[in-house]
Amino acid sequence: MRRLASPELTNGISLEVHRLAMPAGIGQRPAGCYLGLPSFMHYAKSMPHFVHAADIHLDRSLPALLDGRATHPFVLAPRLAFIRLIDYVIESDAAFLVLAGDVYDGAWKDVSTGLFFHQQVGRLRSRGVPVYLLHGNHDAESAMPKTLVPPDNVRLFSARSPQSFEFEPLHIHLHGQSFAQADTRENLASAYPRPVTGCVNIGVLHTALAGSPPHSPYAPCTLEQLKGHGYDYWALGHVHQYKMLATDPYIVFPGNLQGLHIKELGARGAVSVPIEDGHLGAPEFVAMDVLRFHLIDMVVPASVQTLAALIGEVRKAIESASDGADGRHLAMRVVLRLDTTVHPSLCRSKTMLRDEMEGLFAQFEDQVTLEGTEFQLRARPAASGTGEAQDAIASLDAYFAQAARDPAFMGTLRDNLQAVLSKRKPSETSTESLLEQIANDELDTAINDAAEQLRTRLRTIE
């Protein structure tokens, strides 16, 4: 997999994002105009509704996709998704917008990040649409040395104590508290005020609930606590996956607006919540992403014996994923699981496989980008190998199994390997999957692969 390991390069790209900040026309018109995505006009509703989004991470770059090409439009994906969100708020005629934290990815590299936010929120200001803004761990006060006074249609929840605002036309009360520090470990929700009786009440909160790995355990609270608080809706942020956790009251993570890496697969977006007479209707997820991550994880069937046949299988998978992507560009990782005894010729060289995958994806460049490749070459357990070789394999298996269970050994191994890797020059970006796994701290996978490679070699000893 191609990856930019060097911090210099990554910084270079971040700076480039800011120089690119606003290519001509972007942000002035709906995102669909230049992305070829449909408008949201068909969402226009007679029913009043509000929109709840979170985890926008403006100006996070997507370095794994860039391959050194700093001008690639993907660097702007989080911004484009935000424009798309504002388009939706305008075109669906939403009453207001709630942003439940991590609007910014962290300290701005320069003021253009803030200018971009103001420009987009300004499109709502001119239409009289308020924005209820809460800061989470990424954009906590302590994490943001530089900020701008927000536009006057933005109601920013205080980081000192819970604060409430009323959306007066519909008597909806919103309660929330921003993060003062990224590392916020207290139960913020417990201090939120009681609901205003006879009105719709919305709690806005950035939280990991009772723990949501891999997300850091910030502003912990329990689902039961939120259910019992008396609000009609909990507009949560922090967990990047859309989840409706309860319906009475509604407790919702909208997920992030735009997938940021290969572990954030599939559609990403925001939630539209109908405001009925004195209560809220069922929230609806609306995709806002402009680029979608997709994983092809294929156990290659025994019938596939030639490169042409293998490419045919992957091509089918690309086409089917692309058909289901609602016009979004896809960033795909291809994982091929091959059996060294069943596919001996295909398993000859990972470099050959990688080149062929790049060759295939190059044909789809306008729809699909190859995010990375991973080739798992395994031998069948009952494969050939007799006598001494078989004994050696058995003791090797026992050794690896023991090593993987020994935290002290794993810790030493990790430290030693990281020390070796840290001495590499930035230019030595590894394409060897083992080194890369180690660099990514995927030691378990690295050990499994190393064991498998040794087993395969031992089995071929006659």
Binding site for Mn ion (CB under 5 A): 102, 136-137, 238
Return the amino acid letter for 438.
I
The Cα–Cα gap between 125 and 188 comes to: 30
CB of 239 to Mn ion, least distance (A): 8
The Cα–Cα gap between 330 and 328 comes to: 6
User: Please, which residue, 49 or 238, has the CB nearer to Mn ion?
Assistant: 238
Residue closest to 259 by CA, chosen among 64, 440, 98: 64
User: Please, which residue, 57 or 455, has the CB nearer to Mn ion?
Assistant: 57
CB-CB contact of 105 with 138 (8 Å): yes
CB of 54 to Mn ion, least distance (A): 8
Return the amino acid letter for 165.
F
| R_g of the chain, CA atoms, integer Å | 25
The Cα–Cα gap between 97 and 100 comes to: 10
Distance from the Cα of residue 290 to its chain's centroid: 13
CB of 211 to Mn ion, least distance (A): 14
CB-CB contact of 393 with 382 (8 Å): no
User: Please, which residue, 201 or 212, has the CB nearer to Mn ion?
Assistant: 212
User: Please, which residue, 136 or 249, has the CB nearer to Mn ion?
Assistant: 136
Residue 93 tokens, joined:
């005629």
User: Please, which residue, 1 or 226, has the CB nearer to Mn ion?
Assistant: 226
The Cα–Cα gap between 418 and 410 comes to: 12
- The closest residue (CB) to Mn ion is 238
With tokens 């490749």, the residue in question is 373
CB of 133 to Mn ion, least distance (A): 14
CB-CB contact of 262 with 331 (8 Å): yes
CB of 137 to Mn ion, least distance (A): 5
User: Please, which residue, 52 or 294, has the CB nearer to Mn ion?
Assistant: 52
CB-CB contact of 82 with 120 (8 Å): yes
CB of 448 to Mn ion, least distance (A): 31
User: Please, which residue, 135 or 292, has the CB nearer to Mn ion?
Assistant: 135
CB of 106 to Mn ion, least distance (A): 11
